[in-house]
Structure formats: C-alpha cells, structure tokens
Amino acid sequence: MTHLLIGSNNAHKAEEMRAIIEAQSLATILMPTSVQNFPTDIPETGATLEENAYIKTVAIFHATGRTCIADDTGLEVDALGGAPGVHTARYAGESATYAENRAKMLAELAGIAPEQRTACFRTVICYHDDLRVAFAEGVCEGRIATEERGEAGFGYDSIFIPEGFERTFAEMSAEEKHRISHRGQALKHFAEILRSYHDEAVENTLS
C-alpha cells in the first residue's frame, strides 16, 4: 500500500484528511510530525486554490522526498461576491483566528436574508509522487447561518449549513460531515485517481 504524507501544518485539517483517507483504505498515512524536514511555513502566494495547493505540494515533496498531498480550501459566499475565496484562512487578517474569521463574516452578512446567504466550500487537492502531479476537487453547496451553532469541527464549520440540511457542520458527527463535505468529496475524487495509478502499475507489472 502506498505511503502518503499529509501535507498540512493545520492539525485539524491533517487529522480530518487522515480519517477520510484511512476510511477508504487508500494508503498508509504519514503525518507531518512523523517525517524529517517537513516545511513549517510555505507562503501561499497563489491567486487560485489550485495554485496554492500546487505550491504547497511541490515544497513538501522536495523537502521530504515523500509522496504527498496538500490542499487549499475556499469558502465562496454569493452575497460577498464570491469572497473570501482564496483568502478564506486569512479573511480577518494574516494571523486571524477561526473565531475572528467567523465573526467578520457574520458581521458582513448582518441583515442579509437566509435565502440570500448561499455559499459553497471548494477544496482542491494536489498529489505529487516521483512520476506525476495530479489534482482533485470537491464542492459542497450550502448557506451561511445567522449565528454560530455546534461545537464540533473547525474553521467555518459552526456557521456553514450544507445544502439539504438544517444543521451546521459543527452540529454533525465527523463521519456524517466527511460523507458530504467539500474535503470528503475531493478525497473521493482523489481515491479514484490513486486507484487508477495502482491498476496501471499492476497492469504494467503483468504485461
């Protein structure tokens, strides 16, 4: 089974990715703390999620020599013209906390009717091994709540209500969230890609 390094210094995100991948029996997971030379500060200078995911994955692969994945995620709110998008993690400033980002969003949407608070989460994953670079994407449509609800999750989970539900991500179990979330969808797409690489390797061995 492939050894796959989770390329994120965000402990919450790394753990979520580990749980989703292991549930699909995709690979043997390596966490950032288990490898040498894992870069601790990679500037996210890309103008798109794809560029940022690529920048991070290339830096991690060259620093560690390990097959790895990294992602970038954006929350795109229609009433804010698609913001914060690529700036989601830094919405309230470069060193903003999750709570500060959520507070800014709720303040900017104050007075906006529920039906006009539509949004989507989009995750782009970049994979890098000795032979190739590949991308996978996942999207979760929903809307922004009028107040924080729930204790689970991280980031914007307590104010994001996925389409078809009345609960926020933070009010769901981890397993329920993973089935429908943007990151879960992206990793399902990635699973298909990784399995195709495995099948290709087996076919080449037998031919």
Phi, psi of 30 (to 5 degrees): -115, 130
Which residues have a Cβ under 8 Å from the Cβ of 36 and sit 6 or more positions away? 64
pLDDT per position as a tens digit, 96-152: 999 999 999 999 999 999 999 999 999 999 999 999 999 999 999 999 999 999 999
Q: What is the CA radius of gyration of the chain?
A: 18
**Percent of the chain's residues with pLDDT above 90:** 76
β-pairing verdict for 28-30 and 133-144:
unpaired
Structural domain of residue 127, as residue ranges? Answer: 3-206
How many domains are contained in the chain? 1
Residue 66 has pLDDT above 60, yes or no: yes
Please give the Cα distance from 109 to 127 (Å, whole number): 35
83 DSSP 8-state letter:
-
Indicate which CATH number applies to the domain containing 108.
Answer: 3.90.950.10
86 SS3 class: coil
Question: pLDDT band at 32, cuts 50/70/90?
Answer: very high
Q: Is 199 assigned a catalytic role?
A: no
Q: Sign of torsion, CA 26 31 35 40?
A: positive
- Pick the range with the lowest mean pLDDT from 20-24, 79-83, 116-120: 20-24
Task: Give phi and psi for 205, each to the nearest 5.
Answer: -70, -35
CA distances from 201 to 1, 36, 66, 69, 134 (A): 12, 28, 18, 19, 16
- In the chain, the amino acid numbered 120 is C
| Torsion, CA 176, CA 190, CA 101, CA 110, rounded to 10 | -60
Tell me how crowded residue 30 is: count the other CB atoms within 10 A of its CB. 19
| pTM (predicted TM-score) | 0.89
User: H or E stretch including 63?
Assistant: helix 49-64
Of 158, 146, 160, 78, nearest in space to 118 by CA:
78
Cα 136 to the center of its chain, rounded Å: 11
Mean pLDDT across the chain: 91
Q: Which of 41, 72, 129, 199 is catalytic?
A: 72
- Give the model's pLDDT for residue 12: 87
DSSP category for residue 1: -
